[in-house]
Amino acid sequence: MQLVVGRIGRAHGIKGEVTVEVRTDDPELRLGPGAVLATDPAGVGPLTIETGRVHSGRLLLRFAGVKDRTGAEALRNTLLIADVDPEEAPEDPEEFYDHQLMDLDVVTADGTEIGRITEIAHLPSQDLFIVERPDGSEVMIPFVSEIVTEIDLDAQRAVVDPPPGLIDTDQAEVASSRDADAESGAEDDAAKGDA
């Protein structure tokens, strides 16, 4: 099975290094020197990692055959893909690979069907489940323990406890109306003080 483990960013310096947006929980294993990675677009690879280091909190990699900034810039936005045994699972039981979560049914604790996971979006602050609803619409659910309370791979489902308005917007609490009421009350108090 092939999994995206990183995306190449900008060139760093003049000797062929690139920044890499890491998309794996095992960067030492997947993105270590000697690793051979497929790419998307496929014509760029395969790429063999020659060296790797962390600089100012960013992973920097140099690939065999890429010796200058021009070569490094040509790799920008390339996805790095590793071959992974489909039976392999992360060591931490609270962590999951994307392929394990894809197509899981999403339900609430009382069994109400929300939909199924069609994509996992990896954002800087958190991961999101993109869930296709039975009517074909999509909803985004933050993959945080407060909302996603259980992942049951055997039952092929994710149990969620969404706050009001996350799934059904008609249940949302509108903050602006509360703020307007508070401001209105403050203006009334100010007016009374002037009298």
Contact in structure between 72 and 79 (CB atoms under 8 Å): no
Q: What does the mean pLDDT of the chain come to? A: 80
Please name the amino acid found at residue 54: V
The pLDDT of residue 90 is 61
- 27 or 119, which is more confident: 119
Please name the amino acid found at residue 64: A
84-98 pLDDT tens trace? 766 666 666 677 777
Tokens (6 digits) for 84? 């992974």
Domains and CATH numbers, the chain: 2-83 (2.40.30.60), 98-171 (2.30.30.240)
Give the pTM. Answer: 0.53
Find the mean pLDDT for residues 133-150. 89
Burial class (CB in 10 A: 0-12, 13-18, 19+), 190: exposed
What's the CA gap between 45 and 50, in Å, rounded?
14
Angle at 21 between CA 18 and CA 22, to 5 degrees: 115
Identify the weakest region by mean pLDDT among 62-71, 97-106, 114-123, 166-175. 166-175
What's the CA gap between 49 and 63, in Å, rounded?
5
